[in-house]
Every structure is written in C-alpha cells, then in structure tokens.
C-alpha cells in the first residue's frame, strides 16, 4: 500500500482533534447536568431543614429601606425597571418568544429544531410546576409583594423558565454562529437576562433568594440536557444541523 502523504496524515490528525473536542464537550455537558442536579438536591435539602432561613431573611431585608419594609431600596424608577425585567420571565412573554422562534424555524423548514424548542420550554414549564407543588414552600411574608403571585415559592418559576428559554435559545443561536465573539456575545446575553429576571424576583419580595438560586440551577440543568439531546439527535441525523 502507498504510504500516507503528509497532507493525509495532517488531515487525519485534524479529524481526530475535532472528534476529541466533541467528546470532551459532551462529557463536560453531562458532568454539568449531573452537577446541577446534585446542587439542586443539596439546596432543596437545606431549605426543607430550615438551614437557609436566616440567610434568606438577611438578603431579602437588605433590599428594603431601613425603617420601611414596604419601600424597596433605590429610586421609584428602578422599582419600575425591576417590574419590567421580571416580566421577561413571565408566562406570556416566554410563550410569545417561544412561538416566535418556533414560527421562524418552521418557515425555514427546520421542523426538528422547532419541536426541540417546544419540548425544551414546555418540558421546563411542566417540571417547574411539579417541583413547586412537590415542595409547596410558602412565599416570603416579611415584605409586601411587588408583583402578583399565584403558585408556591420553591423553586422560582420565573428564574427557572428564563434559564430554560434564554439559555436554550442562546445555545441554539451560538451553535450556528461561526464567529467566536458572536458566540460569546449571544451566550453572555442569555446568561445576563436570566440573572436579571432572578434578581428582580427577590427585589420585588415575591421569592426567597434560595428560590431563585434553585430556579437557576434547575433551569440551567434542563437547558444543558436539551443541548445534549440536540447534539445527539444531530449526530443521528434526526434533527437539522444548520439554520441556512
């Protein structure tokens, strides 16, 4: 047999390098999912045992004016900004965002991606409701609520669903963006939006800080699991690999 030319050897090395990076990425994603689940379980255990009560109260009260618990710290316009930000994690906004993305994907004939987006957000919503009713933690009663609430407190549904929707969408866009700085920008924006929604829930007094932390942890773990599922389906040829 003829010996491999240097070009062929180099090509083989490049392919091996890409495959190694892919395998490491998959392993890292799985480890993060497992770590997120473990972190959520540990946090839930601390909450159920009442170990986080003192810290929750301290943080919640630190966001209120001294001597007047009805008044959040900062000017009135900042409180209004927090209401606007908290709406980004609300059901109406996330449903409209999801439908808009799904509509775009369907028009691009990417039915597999559209179905994955629906499953990601819909599954995250169902998981959030199950966890809420399972733990049934009361809402904070130390300060007046700055937003109307109907469900239990743990985990924060706004924080969890914001993580699910924004991180899934951000991951989808980053996957098909070639430039590294654009990938970083998209993923950073997704993370910042998720963090702002969570902070607004504590600022408005409708959640304990540990509710928000649990929502972030559960939502990010679910989003990572959806990313891994998308990668696996793409490699099996059951979902589209590009947005063009």
In degrees rounded to 5, what are phi and psi of residue 141? -120, 15
Buried b / exposed e across 20-36, counting CB within 10 Å, b at 16+?
eeeeeeeeeeeebbeeb
DSSP 8-class letter at 241: S
Tokens of 106: 């369907």
Q: Does 76 participate in catalysis according to the annotation? A: no
Cα-based distances in Å from 234 to 8, 33, 62, 116: 27, 19, 47, 11
Q: Does 109 participate in catalysis according to the annotation? A: no
Active-site pick, 17, 76, 145, 158: 158
Active-site pick, 17, 76, 145, 207: 207
Q: Give the Cβ contact number of residue 47 at 10 Å.
A: 22
Distance CA 173, CA 171 (A): 5
Task: Specify the DSSP element, H or E, that contains 44.
Answer: helix 6-48
Q: Could you list the active site residues? A: 158, 207
């Amino acid at each position: 047999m003829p010996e491999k030319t240097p070009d062929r050897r180099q090509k083989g090395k490049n392919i091996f390098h890409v495959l190694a990076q892919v395998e490491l990425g998959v392993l890292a994603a799985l480890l993060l999912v497992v770590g997120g689940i473990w972190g959520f379980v540990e946090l839930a255990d601390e909450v159920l045992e009442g170990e986080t009560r003192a810290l929750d109260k301290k943080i919640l009260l630190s966001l209120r004016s001294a001597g007047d618990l009805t008044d959040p710290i900062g000017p009135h316009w900042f409180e209004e900004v927090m209401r606007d930000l908290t709406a980004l994690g609300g059901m109406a906004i996330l449903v409209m965002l999801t439908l808009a993305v799904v509509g775009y994907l369907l028009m691009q004939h990417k039915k597999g991606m559209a179905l994955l987006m629906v499953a990601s957000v819909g599954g995250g919503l169902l998981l959030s409701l199950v966890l809420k009713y399972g733990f049934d933690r009361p809402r904070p009663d130390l300060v007046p609520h700055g937003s109307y609430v109907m469900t239990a407190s743990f985990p924060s549904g706004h924080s969890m669903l914001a993580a699910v929707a924004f991180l899934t969408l951000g991951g989808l866009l980053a996957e098909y963006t070639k430039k590294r700085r654009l990938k970083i920008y998209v993923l950073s924006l997704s993370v910042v939006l998720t963090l702002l929604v969570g902070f607004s829930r504590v600022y408005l007094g409708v959640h304990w800080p540990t509710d928000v932390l649990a929502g972030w942890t559960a939502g990010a773990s679910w989003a990572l699991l959806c990313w891994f599922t998308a990668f696996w389906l793409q490699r099996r040829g059951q979902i589209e690999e590009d947005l063009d």
